[in-house]
Structure 1
Amino acid sequence: MKTMAQYSFFILFIILLQAFGFDASSGSKADKEYELLVVTVATEETDGFKRFLRSTDKYDVNVKVVGMGEEWTGGDIVNWPGGGQKINLLKTALEEYKDRDDLILLFSDSYDVIFTTGAEEIIRKFQEMDANLVISAESSIWPDPTLASQYPEPEVGYPFVCSGLYMGYAPYFWSALTYRDIADKDDDQLFYTQLYLDSSRREEWKIKLDHVASLFMNLNGARDDVKLLFEGANSMLQNTKYRTVPAIIHGNGPSKLYLNQLGNYLANYWTQDKGCLACGEERIDLRTIEETEYPVVMLALFIEQQTPFIDEYFKNIEDFNYPKNKMHLYIHVNVMLHYHHAKNFAAKWENEYLSTTTVIPAYERSEGEARDEALNLCNEVECDYHFVIDSNVRLFNPEILKRLIEQNKPVIAPMVNIPDKLWSNFWGEVNLEGYYARSDDYVDIVKGNRKGVWNVPFVSTVYLIQGKRVRSPNTPSYVSAHMDPDMKICKDLRDQGIFMYVMNIYEAGRILNMDGVETSHLHNDLWQMSLNPKQWEEKYIHPGYWTAKDPDTDVELICPDVYLFPILSETFADHLVEEMENFGQWSNGGNQDTRLEGGYENVPTRDIHMNQIGYEKHWLYFLSHYVGPICEKLYWGYSGRHYAIMNFVVRYRPDEQPSLRPHHDSSTYTINIALNTQGKDYEGGGARFTRYNCSCIGLKKGWTLMHPGKLTHQHEGLPTTNGTRYIMISFIDP
């Protein structure tokens, strides 16, 4: 048995060890099982807070939330020092844990933090640091730069305290929390900075900074130090500067938008192997809801500029597979050219929608004011969603509104872009001035190489907003003297911490190229051939053309080397004829023709040339892009420019010029396109190839004959006996 003197000496020895910073139990900490409790302060459920909880739930991390629903009295910590209230709330909430020697406490901000691993890994990393309290570190000092010289210089790593993340054994955590009093509006980071700079406490309590981001990664000022890694079913963030993989990522200061971008991948949101794992997590299934219970939508349409294919715009909206009696309609027309389109649409459906409002240029509302008005109307009728569609969008997916609602996001846009270009309706990133910047993943998202629902800082053109997110007094505004309306509302939403998303899971539609829009013609859409080719093709190319173009499909041969196939839609034929008649300056059918070089036409017709209506260059584009490929398919081995000097519409009438005598065309090959219908618009007509005594009569509207010119295929125009016949002729490669 030990004597009393021996026992007293042993106790004194332990006290001396502790006085000099030695922990008698430290040798056993690594072997002891600890519980991890993450504690955070949040007074409201922001989108960032929900993301934080999603990440901790993914890794089964136990979280205690402090302060929810309480008034925030900690000051404006986004722009100024403050945050002392967090410490005071923690003191109240954590006192019960102060003596728990089996507990590790981890404080984390929540609005701008993502966990990337679970408790076991966090505890392991913490214990490897051989400290009782670990505080995260960053490269910049806040809020008092004059304290920089008092910091001990690390051998390597980030030198300064960041109080958004710290952890420690519960007794030490409590001691740090209570080492002095703090007012609610005092700065919490200064509170922990002063604790760390107190060398006696730092050494006695074994307080360390996570200099190399083993545990905590603060992104502010360190963006170039990190890189996303994709390893099969995992997405992780590596600190490439210090070769660490941090457990918890903090978007402190101005790095919050970058954290949003990283959040599109971290915490099992999206992986290279499995794609978007989070896309269905909060999804609403409208199939389980009766249509009578569908959400009420404010459908807000904005025609702010002269727009091609405006009829198709309204047709797309008309075709939405969503009950009109669950939608209010608002239309702002800022261009008188399109007023009648909007007026006709509203009149057609006014008894179907819950309400209709049409605002015309005479009302003198700016674009921003009109967009604000629509948003305020949404609030007045307590709409569930506000759906904005600008006139330069074509939404050909009638289910897209349902798909957007089902994603259950605060703000979500279907991804649309100008076909074959990177111009889209979202930005992957904004710079410090709030303007466009390209994110690393922007191209992959636009091209569809990565499919998902992506948190982005800016959306425009077409998007859906949850009505509850824009209720007064927090209604954002489009009006600004310095920003365009879309930039302004997105800034307001970002400032409120409201997340915006773009979805590219479903094909939704496209954006039109609005450069060089023609407005001086009867049918301006004809002039969109090269600017908006896909939209133009849908309207003006015959659906059967693509079959005829297919290398494996036979094309009808009606005479030797004379082929027949569909090429232009009936709409094109109608519009071209109407353009020609609107122009009205038909030639007189005589040999003297001042339009031609030399002034003489050997085989004259009553016609109008394409260059007379300003369509020559567009038609030459048509010949090279649409006619040329089929020519080279049919006349194997031929490769020409597919260029024509003579491009004209011919009009045949019994009382003007009913027919055309036999002749050779001044071309390598010719196309002859029917612009109206035999038996309906005219009687008679047709073409006869004299050498073969072979005729084509009753060519279908929008179909073309293609035949050689010059030497082998003399032909004549057969008499039109009644009505008016129109054909489009091109002498190609003369």
Structure 2
Amino acid sequence: MFSCLLLGLLALFFFQSSVSAEHRRLSPENLLVITAATEETDGFNRFMRTAREFNYTVKVLGLGEQWKGGDVARTVGGGQKVRWLKAELLKHSDNKDLVVLFVDSYDVIFASGPEELLSKFSRLAHRVVFSAEGFCWPDQRLASKYPEVHSGKRFLNSGGFIGFSTDLSSMVQQWKYKDNDDDQLFYTKIYLDKKQRAKFNMTLDHRSRIFQNLNGAVEEVVLKFERSKVRARNVAFDTLPVIVHGNGPTKLQLNYLGNYVPSAWTFETGCGICDEDLLFFNEAPVGSLLRLKPSPAPCIIAPMLSKHGKLWSNFWGALSPEGFYSRSEDYIEIVQAKRIGLWNVPYITQAYLIKGSVLRSKLSQVSLYVEEGMDPDMVFCRSIRDQVTAKNINKHSQTENYSKIFEDENNFVEQPCPDVYWFPAFSEKMCDHLVETMEHNGQWSGGSHKDERLAGGYENVPTVDIHMTQIEFEKEWLKFLKEYIAPVTEKLYPGYFPKAQAIMNFVVRYRPDEQPSLRPHHDSSTFTINVALNSKGSDYEGGGCRFLRYDCQVESPRKGWSFMHPGRLTHYHEGLPTTRGTRYIMVSFVDP
């Protein structure tokens, strides 16, 4: 009796060891992600971006084909996905080492990589694992047939599952139904069959270790900011799921999570996707504009507009259950420019760009603005949410190093001459846009003493320039001086509290054949800022500024960096000759 028991225990030990060894051998090279999508929507592009970030190998089924699987957003359907998967898995049915992950794409994002995924799959110690949710869909009468669970979600969801290709292939070969029949009901009946559940060694991810379905669990999921990445954390089970699925009516919450997960925005790096899919072009007469690549750029994009000193803006970060305004957790920090990025939001108004192809196709048969009992902008945004994805862009033109002036003055503020400070102010794009705007305006002064733009009609130290008033940008520029330059002034000149007022704000152009230099002079200001708008060497040669009293000069201004120096009495200076090309600078005489 003892020997039989011992043999039984040894057999169990070796069986468990073999299973564990099988799972320990899993490697990312033997993982294939399969998804289904008939077109490249914003949701699909978001899914693929997160897949690329973690180096997943993805096979897309159905791209370019007509969808015949029914309106799964409102009723049952989705069988077409099983038919596609059935055909694809036949190609891998003999590969015993291959692990296949099947997920939806339009409403799914990856939060972590293949190593963590396979490790968690191994620890579950089953050959097929389906995601789980709190609702029995599509047939609630089957709820009583599900195995009881002591903790976690009880019911199967077909939006994500993982298993060995041999088992999954054998499972989906049973499909013999129509394209618009329900895929989740098909998998549910297999799982509820005890013999098949044992045959395929199936289980559900009850505690969201791998799959997080949001429907019915929105309140359980919060953002977890880690170093240079963001995870979705399930606080009910204290798990960090690898895959987040916005199933059912939770698309807006998925959009909110996707604004951060896995690295769309982090505290360390800021916006991680703002420079993707952008092209810049210069075509007369419109000057410099932002051009979106035909794909995969968002279908609709809007600027972030807000009222000065107030929390009013042209977007909503969230919606109430009734479809009206609700404040998202990050709304205030976005409006106050503490978080600058590309945000997927449910409502925009006032100003936006829409792809013409979208208006001519998806939105051509939709009543965009009219519905009884609703404001036109709300009707418009709901139509957009139903058909495409609206995005709100909030990218300011300051250089990314501006805020570091206050964190680390020694590394981000230089002093090339006595009481002359040099610090980052503009991004290169801002510099380019300002120069192009001025050249498009073209109303450069002649560089003579006679100047009708001034109250007295006389300029003591004339330059070839265009004032900010000429391009109707004076108010915006004064706001820039007050909000960005004044704090730097207070830090660099302790005890002085600037009013940040300026009458003279202008862009100067220096050319060898026009006005190459500027004679020695004092500025009519308490202090002056002078921002270099292009680069020495590539755009021009020569140039710079010399402070005569200190016999000190700066000959290589950096594009986007600003000089700040006292105006009257002490800092008598001159503009050094530009010998080639064209040099542009932005000048303000502050607190005259």
TM-score interval, smaller chain = 0.5 to 0.7
**TM-superposed deviation, 1:272:** 0.9
How big is each residue's C-alpha offset from its partner over 1:238-279, in whole Å with a ceiling of 9 and x where there is no partner?
A: 111101100000000001111011111112211110000111
1:166 matched residue in structure 2: 161
Structure 2 CA distance, aligned partners of 1:182 and 1:220? 27
Structure 2 CA distance, aligned partners of 1:463 and 1:428? 16
Partner secondary structure for residue 412 of structure 1 = strand
2:371 matched residue in structure 1: 480
Give the aligned CA root-mean-square deviation in angstroms: 3.4
Residue 461 (1) aligns with residue 454 (2): no
Matches within 5 A, 1:139-158: 139-158=134-153
Partner secondary structure for residue 31 of structure 2 = strand
Select the residue among 476, 496, 517 that pairs with 2:387.
496
- Match for 2:283: what amino acid? E
2:189 matched residue in structure 1: 194
**Preserved contact between residue 218 and residue 252 of structure 1 (Cα < 8 Å):** yes
Partner secondary structure for residue 151 of structure 2 = coil
1:26 matched residue in structure 2: 19
**TM-superposed deviation, 1:117:** 1.5
Structure 1 CA distance, aligned partners of 2:51 and 2:98? 18
- Match for 2:128: what amino acid? L
Structure 2 CA distance, aligned partners of 1:141 and 1:258? 21
Structure 2 CA distance, aligned partners of 1:455 and 1:554? 38
Structure 1 CA distance, aligned partners of 2:159 and 2:397? 38
**Preserved contact between residue 426 and residue 502 of structure 1 (Cα < 8 Å):** no
2:335 matched residue in structure 1: 446
**Preserved contact between residue 304 and residue 315 of structure 2 (Cα < 8 Å):** yes
Residue 252 (1) aligns with residue 247 (2): yes
- Match for 1:461: what amino acid? Q
1:291 matched residue in structure 2: 283
Inter-CA distance 38–544: structure 2 relative to 1 (3 Å threshold): closer
**Preserved contact between residue 404 and residue 413 of structure 1 (Cα < 8 Å):** no
Select the residue among 170, 174, 178 that pairs with 1:179.
174
Inter-CA distance 505–552: structure 2 relative to 1 (3 Å threshold): closer
1:415 matched residue in structure 2: 304
**TM-superposed deviation, 1:567:** 12
Inter-CA distance 263–43: structure 2 relative to 1 (3 Å threshold): same
Select the residue among 72, 77, 96 that pairs with 1:77.
72
Structure 2 CA distance, aligned partners of 1:89 and 1:554? 68
Partner secondary structure for residue 190 of structure 1 = helix
Residue 322 (1) aligns with residue 286 (2): yes
1:43 matched residue in structure 2: 38
Residue 282 (1) aligns with residue 277 (2): yes
Inter-CA distance 448–179: structure 2 relative to 1 (3 Å threshold): same
- Match for 2:337: what amino acid? G
Select the residue among 304, 314, 329 that pairs with 1:425.
314
2:468 matched residue in structure 1: none
- Match for 2:324: what amino acid? Y
**TM-superposed deviation, 1:168:** 0.2
Gapped runs of 5+ residues in structure 1?
A: 1-12, 293-320, 324-398, 509-534, 556-565, 569-734
Structure 2 CA distance, aligned partners of 1:73 and 1:33? 36
Residue 113 (1) aligns with residue 108 (2): yes
**Preserved contact between residue 453 and residue 505 of structure 1 (Cα < 8 Å):** no
Structure 2 CA distance, aligned partners of 1:113 and 1:544? 44
**TM-superposed deviation, 1:506:** 4.0
**Preserved contact between residue 239 and residue 246 of structure 1 (Cα < 8 Å):** yes
**Preserved contact between residue 34 and residue 100 of structure 2 (Cα < 8 Å):** yes
**TM-superposed deviation, 1:283:** 1.2
Structure 1 CA distance, aligned partners of 2:269 and 2:42? 24
Structure 1 CA distance, aligned partners of 2:502 and 2:390? 47
Inter-CA distance 554–145: structure 2 relative to 1 (3 Å threshold): closer
- Match for 1:322: what amino acid? V
**Preserved contact between residue 30 and residue 127 of structure 1 (Cα < 8 Å):** yes
Partner secondary structure for residue 249 of structure 1 = strand
Inter-CA distance 24–554: structure 2 relative to 1 (3 Å threshold): closer
Structure 2 CA distance, aligned partners of 1:150 and 1:96? 34
Inter-CA distance 404–414: structure 2 relative to 1 (3 Å threshold): farther
2:261 matched residue in structure 1: 266
**Preserved contact between residue 280 and residue 290 of structure 2 (Cα < 8 Å):** no
Inter-CA distance 553–489: structure 2 relative to 1 (3 Å threshold): closer
Query: Which has the bigger relative contact order, CA under 8 A and spacing at least 6?
Result: 2
1:124 matched residue in structure 2: 119
Structure 1 CA distance, aligned partners of 2:80 and 2:358? 27
Task: State the identity %.
Answer: 41
Structure 2 CA distance, aligned partners of 1:248 and 1:503? 27
Structure 2 CA distance, aligned partners of 1:54 and 1:544? 38
**Preserved contact between residue 208 and residue 234 of structure 2 (Cα < 8 Å):** yes
1:135 matched residue in structure 2: 130
Inter-CA distance 554–439: structure 2 relative to 1 (3 Å threshold): closer
1:434 matched residue in structure 2: 323
Inter-CA distance 538–89: structure 2 relative to 1 (3 Å threshold): closer
Partner secondary structure for residue 173 of structure 1 = helix
Matches within 5 A, 1:621-632: none
Inter-CA distance 450–181: structure 2 relative to 1 (3 Å threshold): same
1:516 matched residue in structure 2: none
Q: Which has the larger radius of gyration?
A: 1
Inter-CA distance 468–29: structure 2 relative to 1 (3 Å threshold): same
**TM-superposed deviation, 1:234:** 1.4
Structure 2 CA distance, aligned partners of 1:280 and 1:58? 15
**TM-superposed deviation, 1:232:** 2.2
Residue 66 (1) aligns with residue 61 (2): yes
**TM-score normalised by L of structure 1:** 0.51
**TM-superposed deviation, 1:473:** 5.6
**Preserved contact between residue 369 and residue 377 of structure 2 (Cα < 8 Å):** yes
**Preserved contact between residue 413 and residue 463 of structure 1 (Cα < 8 Å):** yes
Structure 2 CA distance, aligned partners of 1:487 and 1:498? 14
**TM-superposed deviation, 1:408:** 4.6
Inter-CA distance 418–195: structure 2 relative to 1 (3 Å threshold): same
**Preserved contact between residue 83 and residue 175 of structure 2 (Cα < 8 Å):** no
Which deviates further from its counterpart, 416-425 or 161-170? 416-425
2:553 matched residue in structure 1: none
**TM-superposed deviation, 1:449:** 1.0
2:406 matched residue in structure 1: none
1:236 matched residue in structure 2: 231
